């Protein structure tokens, strides 16, 4: 069995902190002037990645000046940076109440996105777009949600808009390509992946995705070239090694396929797809006992992996163990593998 992995990656942006110098003739007196000082200190701490102390300074600024919109926004940005998404939302909400802004809606949407509150996130990204029609990141993240909801046409529309607003948006090209793959528009997807790596030549996952499209188009040698670039860019990229292995497998170069599956497993011993795929290659060179061990390991790592049961059953058949074959095919059928159901009905009592 060949498993093609197509990845899409989210573009995590940094949040800009808007420091403001205190003018000589400030409009703020007393506590308000001190609030500005605490705020600017918080900005510096954030820039230096001293997040805990930055939050304390923004807390102090807000205590002194309860309607300090920028302090609420930036405190939320720090919490977002720390992964405290639920805590960031009230700060962004207060920022929006004090001053409705595209960045406020976008940032709250980003926190909701991370919490998988998809409908609320869509609403926030839409509000950001309504205030700034060229807000590329808002289109991008909304497109990501539509992708996750399997609404690939809407996802493509949003990635289109993101690219229009930001023509060098490599992540949007990559993810638009992934949406097109889902719609089986492989040639168009390849064009998007090529544009992504043209803009960002070190984007390993885009090379991997381009390789997977070439494999879909049966250009196996071209796929191998792309996967090879991917692993050069990221030597720990176990998925790209696995995928290159499947391309070698299609070319009946089973020894090189096994080497790539070995590497994928070395990098990620829990990656059950690679065990199944390595077993398939070993089966092809009649190394049935070793294949059985790999199928068994894949099943151990994922007991619901129906194809590993199917393939192990076929291997047991080659070893003239029909009882074990039928046990595995019956389990594969229970897990929804239709081929296994056919084998069971034809060969098992």
- Express each pLDDT in 54-69 by its tens digit: 999 999 999 999 999 9
How far does CA 296 lie from the centroid of its chain? 29
The model's pLDDT over 123-141, given as tens digits with 9 standing for 90+, comes to: 999 999 999 999 999 999 9
Residue 31 corresponds to which tokens in the numbers above?
């506590």
Does residue 206 carry a pLDDT above 50? Answer: yes
State pLDDT tens for residues 219-267.
999 999 999 999 999 999 999 999 999 999 999 999 999 999 999 999 9
CA distance 43 to 57: 9
Question: Average pLDDT, stretch 203-209?
Answer: 97
Mean pLDDT over residues 189-216, rounded?
98
Asked, for residue 300, whether it belongs to a domain, the answer is yes
Q: What is the mean pLDDT of residues 159-172?
A: 98
279 and 331, same domain (yes or no): yes
Choice between 113 and 10, residue whose per-residue pLDDT is larger? 113
Is the per-residue pLDDT at 25 higher than 70? no
The CATH number covering residue 336 comes to: 1.25.40.10
The answer on 279 and 251 residing in a single domain is: no
For residue 13, the model assigns a pLDDT of: 30
In the prediction, which pLDDT does 31 show?
A: 74
Q: Is residue 106 a part of any domain in this protein?
A: no
Q: Is residue 257 part of a domain?
A: yes
Distance CA(231)–CA(238), nearest Å, equals: 8
- Whether residue 295 contacts residue 275, with contact meaning beta carbons closer than 8 Å, is answered with yes
Is the pLDDT confidence value at 194 over 80?
A: yes
Inside any domain, residue 13: no
pLDDT score of 17: 44
pLDDT at position 30: 55
Structure-block tokens of residue 121:
């996130």
Contacts of 132 (CB under 8 A, 6+ apart): 102, 138
Domain assignment of residue 281, given as a range? 272-349
Asked whether the beta carbons of 156 and 128 are under 8 A apart, the reply is: no
Q: What is the mean pLDDT of residues 19-23?
A: 37
Is position 159 within any domain?
A: no
Please tell me the distance from the alpha carbon of residue 341 to that of residue 69, in angstroms, as a whole number: 63
Q: How many domains does the chain have?
A: 2
Task: Tell which of 250, 268, 286 closes a domain.
Answer: 268
Residue 192 lies in a domain: no
Write out pLDDT tens, residues 69-119.
Answer: 999 999 999 999 999 999 999 999 999 999 999 999 999 999 999 999 999
Query: Does residue 156 lie in a domain region?
Result: no
- 59, part of any domain: no
The average pLDDT across 279-299 equals 97
State the pTM of this model: 0.86
Q: What is the predicted pLDDT for the residue at 32?
A: 83
Contact between 171 and 142 (Cβ < 8 Å): no
DSSP 8-state secondary structure symbol assigned to residue 27: S
Give the separation between CA 250 and CA 238, rounded to whole angstroms.
19
| CB distance 237 to 221 below 8 Å | no
Mean pLDDT (the chain) is 91
Please state the rounded mean pLDDT for residues 319-348: 93
pLDDT at 349: 76
**pLDDT band at residue 214 using 50, 70 and 90 as cut-offs:** very high
Answer for the pair 8, 174: CB distance below 8 angstroms, yes or no. yes
Q: Are residues 259 and 296 in the same domain?
A: no
DSSP 23: -
Helix pair 152-165, 136-148: axis angle to 10 deg: 160
CA distances from 187 to 128, 163, 190, 257 (A): 33, 19, 5, 26
What angle do helix axes 238-250 and 254-267 make, rounded to 10 degrees?
A: 170
Q: What is the mean pLDDT of residues 184-198?
A: 98
d(CA 250, CA 220): 7
Q: Give the per-residue pLDDT at 139.
A: 98
- The tokens for 83 are 């992964």
In this structure, the answer to whether residues 277 and 347 fall within a common structural domain is yes
């Amino acid at each position: 069995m060949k498993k093609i992995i197509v990845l899409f990656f989210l573009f995590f942006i940094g949040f800009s902190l808007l420091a403001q110098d205190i003018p000589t003739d400030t409009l703020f007196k007393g506590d308000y002037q001190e609030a500005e000082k605490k705020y600017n200190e918080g900005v510096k701490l954030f820039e230096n990645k001293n997040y805990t102390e930055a939050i304390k300074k923004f807390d102090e600024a807000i205590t002194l000046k309860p309607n300090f919109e920028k302090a609420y926004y930036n405190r939320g940005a720090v919490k977002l940076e720390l992964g405290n998404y639920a805590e960031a939302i009230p700060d962004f909400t207060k920022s929006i109440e004090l001053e409705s802004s595209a960045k406020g809606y976008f940032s709250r949407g980003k926190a909701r996105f991370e919490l998988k509150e998809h409908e609320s996130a869509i609403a926030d990204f839409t509000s950001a777009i309504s205030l700034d029609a060229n807000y590329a990141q808002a289109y991008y993240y909304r497109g990501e949600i539509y992708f996750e909801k399997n609404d690939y046409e809407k996802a493509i529309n949003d990635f289109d808009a993101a690219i229009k607003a930001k023509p060098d948006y490599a992540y949007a090209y990559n993810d638009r390509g992934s949406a097109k793959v889902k719609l089986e528009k492989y040639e168009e997807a390849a064009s998007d992946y090529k544009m992504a790596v043209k803009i960002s030549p070190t984007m390993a996952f885009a090379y991997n995705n381009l390789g997977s499209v070439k494999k879909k188009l049966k250009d196996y040698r071209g796929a191998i070239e792309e996967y090879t670039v991917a692993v050069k860019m990221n030597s720990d990229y176990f998925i790209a090694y696995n995928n290159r292995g499947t391309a070698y497998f299609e070319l009946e170069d089973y020894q090189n396929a096994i080497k790539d599956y070995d590497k994928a497993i070395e990098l990620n011993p829990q990656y059950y797809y690679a065990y199944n795929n390595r077993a398939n290659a070993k089966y092809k060179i009649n190394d049935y006992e070793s294949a059985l061990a790999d199928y068994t390991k894949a099943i151990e790592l994922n007991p619901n992996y129906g194809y590993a049961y199917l393939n192990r059953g076929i291997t047991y058949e080659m070893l003239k163990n029909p009882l074990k074959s039928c046990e595995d095919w019956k389990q594969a059928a229970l897990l929804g593998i239709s081929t296994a159901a056919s084998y069971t009905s034809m060969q098992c009592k």
